[in-house]
């Protein structure tokens, strides 16, 4: 039997106590997630995070740190994901930028607004990454080697 984890990136973008989230359709429901997605061939983890954030929210961001590296097995399908989560600051929104299929749109929520809706989290990693960010977890971007 072949087992292979899925490599994903996510970005926690904070502005004045609000976090940039993606409202999207997943598994037949509307959920919140960080801008996130799979690493593609021939791109770095940082490039993937910037690309996914733009594709899912229309926002250009600047990566500032690595928050953490998470191993998560989804109970819905048994797939294991290795998530590299970045911290970023917002630079500019591209108002007419087309968003990926399945994306309803970007939402700015406080930590408490998100925490009050656990049934809408894509996974438990959504709040965990924000909580790690709030607690000050930061690692230099140089931690990652291309």
Q: Which two tokens stand for residue 120?
A: 């809408």
All domains of the chain in start order, with CATH = 6-143 (3.90.79.10)
Residue 144 DSSP one-character state: S
Query: Rounded CA gap, 25 and 83, in Å?
Result: 20
> Average pLDDT for residues 68-84, to the nearest whole number?
92
Quote the mean pLDDT of the chain.
Answer: 95
Confidence of residue 76 (pLDDT cuts 50, 70, 90): confident
Report the SS3 class of residue 10: strand
Q: pLDDT tens digit string along 129-141? A: 999 999 999 999 9
The dihedral through the CA atoms of 32, 14, 57, 77 has a sign that is negative
Cα 55–Cα 13–Cα 19 angle in degrees, nearest 5: 105
116-144: average pLDDT:
97
Residue 1 in this model has a pLDDT that exceeds 70: no
Q: What is the pTM of this model?
A: 0.94
């Amino acid at each position: 039997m072949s087992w292979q984890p899925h490599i994903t990136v996510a970005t926690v973008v904070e502005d004045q106590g609000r976090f940039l989230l993606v409202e999207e359709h997943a598994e037949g429901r509307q959920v919140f997630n960080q801008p996130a997605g799979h690493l593609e061939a021939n791109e770095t983890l940082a490039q993937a995070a910037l690309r996914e954030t733009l594709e899912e929210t229309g926002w250009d961001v600047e990566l500032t740190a690595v928050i953490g590296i998470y191993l998560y097995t989804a109970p819905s399908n048994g797939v294991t994901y290795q998530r590299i989560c970045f911290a970023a600051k917002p630079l500019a929104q591209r108002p007419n930028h087309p968003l990926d299929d399945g994306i309803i749109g970007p939402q700015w929520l406080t930590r408490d607004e998100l925490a009050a809706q656990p049934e809408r989290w894509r996974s438990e990693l959504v709040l965990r990454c924000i909580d790690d960010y709030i607690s000050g977890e930061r690692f230099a971007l140089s931690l990652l080697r291309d």
